Structure formats: structure tokens, C-alpha cells
Amino acid sequence: MKSLANSLSNTGVTHKISKKTNKIKPELMYSILAFLSPILVILLWYIASEKQLFPSQILVPPQTVWNTFISLLHSGELGMHLKDSLYRLVFGFSIATISGIFFGILYATFTTFRNYTYVLFNVLYQIPIFVLIPIFILIFGIGEIFKILLIIKACFFPIALATADAVKNIPKQYIELGKIYKFKTWSWLKFIIFPTTLPPVISGLRIALGRAWLILVAVELLAAGTGIGQMMELARQMLRLDIVMVGVFITGLIGFSLDKVLRLLEQRFSRYQPQISGEKNV
């Protein structure tokens, strides 16, 4: 047995195995911690409810919340509210993305356009969204237009700023390289514009989408006929804190999922940036 260990050590196999083990350990530890933290919170929640540290009307047991979730799912009520919330989010976010990217490109490219819009853009950007709620309600009522406009306001400015910064920060060497090789429009987009601007733009989209989701749920709490926020508000009025907790968890899970998807996209497109920097030396 000793001779086998010595031979493995001499051939370097032991070193390779230990190296692989060390490489796997951090990833495994991250996965364990990622799943352990919510499980720990639920466990503490369960213990607190069993020990009746708070009245059951305030601290609803986790099993009750789970049963309520299943009931809402089967009845279709949760699906209806979720569908309406996601429709508003997608519609408003899509309009803000298209207009924000277009505005950001113009803002970064044309000095005259930037000079004309600089003051107006920055003043509107500094206005808190919740200040606009009473004004928008007076003008548009509490219908869909009101909520979608607030989502557009929440998303437009981060997207426009991220796009403008990304376009302005395209290295001059890359632009000169494109001129030297006489790139056509598609080549400019493929080799210069997309690889250098997509990662920061997607980062702006991620920030904007997170803000939009939080603001949408908050607005639905205040003024809406349907939606996750309105479901929680009606449940609060009826002292159904189990439904409120279901809404809280659904809101958090959706926000986390949206952020995760855009984060993965951002990481994927970031891989293409070194290809451009490699061409710089050509």
C-alpha cells in the first residue's frame, strides 16, 4: 500500500487529484451555501411558528403558506394576477428598451442632440417615480397606461445612460481598425459595436428590469385591479397574511429569476470582448 502511494506521488497523480479537488471545492461550497441559506431561513421560521414566539395571525407557519400557494395555483387566482403583472412588465420594459437604446445612441453620437436634451434628460431623471404617481393618476386614471408609463420611466433612464456610456467608451483604436479594413455595416456591428457595447448595455437592462419589477409591485399595492401587488393588498385587508406571504415569495423568486437570466446573458456576451482586444494588436 505504501509503495502504491509512493508511486502515485512520484508520477504526479496525487498532485493532479488534489489540484482537481481544490478546483471543485469552491464551486461545490458555493452551491451548498446558495441552497443552505434559504433552507436555514425556512427552518428558523418553522421553529419560531412552532414555539409561538409571535401570534399565528402575524407569523403564519410555512406549511400553511405552502398549502395556500397550492390552493391559489389550482384555483387559477395566482396565475391570473401573475399574468397581468408580467404583461405590464414586459410591455413597459420593451418600450423602454427600444426607446432607451435609440436615445442613448443619439445622445452619445451627436453633440447637437446631446446639448439640446442634456438639461431636460437630467431633470426628468432626477424626479422620483413615486412623485409622479398622483399626477399620472389624475391624468390617466389607474388603468394600464398609468402603470406602464411608470415602468417606462423606471427603465428608460438606466438603459439610455448605459447605452450612451457604452457607445462613448468604444476605444478609438477599434474605430480606426474598422476604417482601415473598410468594414461594411454588418462588419461594424459584428466586430466593433456589438462586442464592445452589449455587456454594459445588458448590465443597464438588468438594473432597469430589477427597478421596474419592484416599482410595478409597489404601484399595484397602491392602485390596481389585478396583479401580484393587488393580490397582497386585498389579502392584507382581509387579514390573510398567508396569501401576503405567498405574494412576497413569488415577487422575490421572479425578481431573482429575471436578474439571473440577464446576468447570464451579460457574462456570455462579455466573452466576446477579448476577441476585439486581440485585434487591436493586428
3-state secondary structure 14-46: HHHHHHHHHHHHHHHHHHHHHHHHHHHHHHHHH
108/159 same-domain check: yes
Which has the higher per-residue pLDDT, 127 or 187?
127
* DSSP-assigned states of every residue in 219-235: HHHHS-SSSHHHHHHHH
Q: What is the pLDDT of residue 184?
A: 79
256/185 same-domain check: yes
151/231 same-domain check: yes
Q: Which amino acid, residue 204?
A: G
Domain that holds residue 27: 2-50
What is the C-alpha separation between 211 and 198, in angstroms, rounded? 20
What is the C-alpha separation between 120 and 81, in angstroms, rounded? 36
In a domain, 257, yes or no: yes
pLDDT tens-digit map of 210-237: 999 999 999 998 877 888 999 999 999 8
7/146 same-domain check: no
In a domain, 84, yes or no: yes
35/112 same-domain check: no
Q: What is the pLDDT of residue 280?
A: 41
In a domain, 55, yes or no: no
In a domain, 57, yes or no: no
142/221 same-domain check: yes
In a domain, 121, yes or no: yes
Q: Is the dihedral of CA 166, 168, 174, 180 positive or negative?
A: positive
221/266 same-domain check: yes
Nearest to 209 by CA among 258, 282, 138, 145: 258
- 272 confidence band (pLDDT: 50, 70, 90): low
Q: What is the pLDDT of residue 1?
A: 47
36/71 same-domain check: no
Q: Check whether 201 has a pLDDT greater than 70.
A: yes
Q: Check whether 259 has a pLDDT greater than 50.
A: yes
Number of compact structural domains in the chain: 2
pTM passes above 0.85: no
Helices (H), the chain: 2-11, 13-50, 62-75, 77-109, 111-126, 129-140, 144-168, 172-180, 185-187, 194-222, 228-237, 241-270, 273-279
Q: What is the pLDDT of residue 74?
A: 92
Q: Check whether 153 has a pLDDT greater than 50.
A: yes
Q: What is the pLDDT of residue 278?
A: 43
94/224 same-domain check: yes
In a domain, 56, yes or no: no
120/161 same-domain check: yes
Q: Check whether 92 has a pLDDT greater than 90.
A: yes
78/154 same-domain check: yes
Q: Check whether 274 has a pLDDT greater than 50.
A: no
In a domain, 205, yes or no: yes
Looking up residue 215, the CATH number of its domain turns out to be: 1.10.3720.10
Q: What is the pLDDT of residue 27?
A: 65
41/82 same-domain check: no
Q: What is the pLDDT of residue 251?
A: 94
Q: What is the pLDDT of residue 215?
A: 92
